[in-house]
Amino acid sequence: MTAPHHVTVNDAHGPVNNGTGPQYVFYGARTVRGSRRNAESLRIVREDRLYLADRFAPPGNYRVAAARLEKPGSVVLLDAQPGTGRRAAAIMLLHQLGEEDETDEEDVRFEEIPARDESKNEDGEPTAPGAGDRFLLDLSRIVDEEAYAEAQRRLAGLRSQVQEAGAHLVVVLPSDMAHAHPPELAPHTVTLERPRGIAVITRHLRMHRTPFDSEDLKRPDLQPLYDRYPMRELARLAGLVETAHQSGRYGADFASWLSQALHAVTDRAAEVGRQVNAARNAPQRALLLAAAVFEEAHADTVHEAWRGLLRTVGHEEEETTELERIDFGQRLTALGIERDPDGRLRFKRLAYAEAARTYFWANFPGLRDALAEWIGMASGLPGLATDDRVTIAVRFGERALATGRPDQLFGLAVRWANGATGATADARAVAILELGLRHEEFGSWFRRRMYDCLSSTSLEDGFVRVLTAACVRGLASTHPDQAVVRLRHLAVRDGEAARAAGEELFGLVGADRRLYRLLIDRLRDPVRRDSSAAGTSLQLLTELLKSDRVPDPPRWPDLFLGWETVFSQPPTKLWDPLVRSWLDTVAGDRTRDMALDVMVGATHGRTIALHRLYAIACDWAGAARDPARTAVAARLWQHIDQAQYARTDRTRRAGHGPRTTEEAS
């Protein structure tokens, strides 16, 4: 290693390039947006917005709100009655604001701010708004003044950040709190009017590609629905029309499909109530419920599930023999259930099974715990395929959430996960966690419950796999930051399931530069604090920094931070694959040459680190006798020479100050 010619600069007040080659100034490599604390946010997935945009019918005064939102730093508050599609309007205002913007969504965020603060005790702080970011704050579910007052305090801080950054914010106001709206928000408030119901139905039918004529939608019995039904129910009506059309069981023209769909929307609950009241004995009611939950399963499986339900609720077995009882086919026919040629069961009337499930959960509250126990066992019956099991679990999950029992879902997820064998996550457990994470009311409950589980030292591998899958398949699409946090906690544990969580974590952040930087920060922290997780975190960080894990193109300041942490620790075998991966990359792509300079700079001239880099490069270059490798190694050695000379020069100019421990050794 030779000492190059140099220039000495005295009393510098800024970055100085003392040597050959370009200068890279990172200023601590803080490239993320401001560090001020901000409410945790969730991503509104682009695919969902595009789906909504195809079906969206603008409400009255929508254009007024859109015009107000155009200016950077603008805040628009929407006041509307429930059922008018106010949340959909808020999402569309933000979506259409950026419709012509080709900016990468990694740089411009489109996220929802939860109505209540979820960030307490969360591991790390979200970033503040940036220019062009788009945010939704939906306060429509707030029903008490105390919660609304807290939301207003959070809104005041968020407004300030949005205006300062040049972002955009749409707020959906609670409909029954007009007396509590702050007067200073009045100039930013737009009152939306109900969209035309026929326009909503028309757009949905067209997107379903259902054949119809505009005159078909002018029936007198549709007008009350257009005038009063919530937008989601009009969308459901259109979906049921398409279901009737596709099934081929409800006629061959639009009028027949529409009539079936109207009955399903308006009459099914009353029909189920009449049937349940007519079926006075437990076996009949139990079969109705079992068929509703297991619809489309094979008849033999439904029979087994039915008998299991009777045992679960404590019904005494009939003393007569099987041959003396009413046969199973007659029981099914009496309840309006038919068996197709493949032996699978379904109700004759459209959407009847869904209405039956809703009725039983709403009107037999004392059975809900028993039903959870029954589902826990019956969804694993051997006659069910994996898709059937998932469908049954989701049907139960929908009812449990509708009746305010998220704890039942989470308990079943743990039970199924821990009972699984093999190296795959239980599909039922993953499905109901995803269902809970997507739920408007209980999504935050599931996110918090998952986070709380991470503090347990006794998570079984099966549950680790389920949590990993739920993070990747569910949480990552809406709460990517929280998914990274939870996967990191899973990845630092011991065992094969934890290693699989690490691989999923690397895959998630490798496609998103912001998440990649977030993970670097999370892994650096325990290493710098020398916490109990320091060793595992350092190992994960070293793996994360390999060239094949880095988003393309690399952000050198982020890599500098990560390498700085790795090279601040004593050299280990972990360094070899990390450094070699980047030497391979530079040998194959000269545009990555900057990696050599940044890597050496991250050592801050520490002799032991530089010597280790030098030794790795020598072994790497000598192993292949490749001219390209020799050239890369030579360039790395040059950077090492410069770093060593700079350190020696600083020491000489510092006089006879005390030597560091490293120098003394």
Q: How far apart are CA 359 and CA 553, in angstroms?
A: 55
pLDDT at 40 over 50: no
pLDDT at site 648: 63
Closest residue by Cα to residue 125 from 33, 47, 12 = 33
Query: Which residue carries 């039942």 as its tokens?
Result: 408
Confidence of residue 106 (pLDDT cuts 50, 70, 90): low
pLDDT at site 278: 92
pLDDT at site 622: 85
Residues 6+ apart with CB under 8 A from 563: 545, 598, 599, 602, 603
Highest-confidence segment of 131-135, 620-624, 650-654? 131-135
| DSSP secondary structure, 523-543, as one string | HHHHHHHT-TTHHHHHHHHHH
Identity at 241, one-letter amino acid code: V
Q: How far apart are CA 42 and CA 134, in angstroms?
A: 11
pLDDT at 270 over 90: yes
Q: How far apart are CA 515 and CA 521, in angstroms?
A: 10
Q: How far apart are CA 268 and CA 279, in angstroms?
A: 16
Confidence of residue 32 (pLDDT cuts 50, 70, 90): very low
Q: How far apart are CA 348 and CA 336, in angstroms?
A: 6
Distances (CA, A) of 452 to 41, 121, 420, 456, 606: 19, 10, 22, 8, 40
Tokens (6 digits) for 218: 């002018």
pTM (two decimals): 0.84
pLDDT at site 11: 35
Query: Which residue carries 């909503």 as its tokens?
Result: 200
Position with higher pLDDT, 12 vs 104: 104
Q: How far apart are CA 541 and CA 525, in angstroms?
A: 11
64 φ, ψ (degrees, to nearest 5): -65, -45
Tell me the average pLDDT across 549-567: 94
pLDDT at site 30: 36
pLDDT at site 522: 92
Confidence of residue 649 (pLDDT cuts 50, 70, 90): low
**Distance from the Cα of residue 380 to its chain's centroid:** 27
pLDDT at site 497: 95
pLDDT at site 109: 82
Q: How far apart are CA 497 and CA 53, in angstroms?
A: 40
Confidence of residue 111 (pLDDT cuts 50, 70, 90): confident
Per the CB < 8 A criterion, the answer to whether 310 and 282 are in contact is: yes
pLDDT at 401 over 80: yes
pLDDT at 600 over 70: yes
DSSP bridge partners of 35: none
Closest residue by Cα to residue 190 from 64, 57, 56, 58 = 64
Ranking 200-204, 264-268, 544-548 by mean pLDDT, the lowest is 264-268
pLDDT at 16 over 70: no
pLDDT at site 13: 36
Give the Cβ contact number of residue 123 at 10 Å. Answer: 14
Closest residue by Cα to residue 363 from 296, 270, 295, 290 = 270
> Is cis: bond before 553, omega within 30 of 0?
yes
Tell me the average pLDDT across 311-331: 78
Q: Which H/E stretch holds residue 434?
A: helix 427-438
Question: 414-471 pLDDT, tens per residue?
Answer: 999 999 887 899 999 999 999 999 998 899 899 999 999 998 888 999 999 999 999 9
Tell me the average pLDDT across 63-88: 95
pLDDT at site 632: 94
Question: 276-317 pLDDT, tens per residue?
Answer: 999 878 999 999 999 999 999 999 999 999 999 999 998 877
Q: How far apart are CA 165 and CA 150, in angstroms?
A: 23
Tokens (6 digits) for 147: 């919660």
Q: How far apart are CA 7 and CA 73, in angstroms?
A: 48
pLDDT at site 265: 92
Number of H-type helices and E-type strands within the chain: 30, 8
- Check residue 344 and report its DSSP letter: B
| Beta strand segments in 447-492, E | none
Q: Mean of the per-residue pLDDT values for the chain?
A: 87
pLDDT at site 114: 79
Q: How far apart are CA 490 and CA 402, in angstroms?
A: 30
pLDDT at 73 over 80: yes
Tell me the average pLDDT across 32-36: 34
Residues 6+ apart with CB under 8 A from 616: 575, 576, 579, 580, 583
Tokens (6 digits) for 44: 């509104």
